[in-house]
Amino acid sequence: MADSRYGNNVVAELSDALVIGYGGTTADTTSMAYIGGQTGGQLWLRVYAHTAVSIATGEYWYIEFQAFTADTAASADSPFSTSNSGGINQATGTAETDAHYYPLHKTSADGTLAFAAGDLITEMAIPEKLCRLLSLDYVQLTNITDKTDPGADETIDVLLCVNPS
């Protein structure tokens, strides 16, 4: 799928109108994206408000990046390495399972977050070297909030995009 939603060169859609993870239940993107091989730092994950989204003071919202060795949730790993070799080809790393990569981390102590439909919520470059060193070829985002479930009123789009150099 290649399109230009939100002014981006979209390579893959991870979710379209994903209801955010309410009530402390994690919501995964509906798809994973394949990123195997060299990306040259040009692949970005972007999260947009599909509808208006508001997280009040006193509520948390975490959007987390996850990487995988296969197109299956059972292969999830955090994209960090405790002993990587700085990106040297054919090098390996040791996964650090207690690390998390949050493109958005709003705690209950933070003020209100509010986004109109179409607003960019967060973005991140795919950490190519760490993913490659750990043989993590697939990516997805998860999100969770303790906000009470208002139904399907607040949704996000998650896209894998190419940034031209």
- For residue 110, the domain's CATH number is 2.60.120
Q: What are the 10-residue block averages of pLDDT along the chain, 165 residues in total?
A: 75 92 90 79 92 94 88 68 59 69 93 96 86 80 88 89 78
Give the pLDDT confidence score for residue 78 in this predicted structure: 61
Which of 105, 104, 100, 108 shows the shortest CA–CA distance to 123?
Answer: 104
Give the pLDDT confidence score for residue 83 in this predicted structure: 61
- Quote the DSSP letter at residue 52: -
Give the pLDDT confidence score for residue 2 in this predicted structure: 47
Residue range of the domain that includes 25: 5-162
Task: Indicate the pTM of the whole model.
Answer: 0.86
**How many whole angstroms separate alpha carbon 20 and alpha carbon 63?**
10
- Provide the number of structural domains found in the chain: 1
Give the pLDDT confidence score for residue 80 in this predicted structure: 63
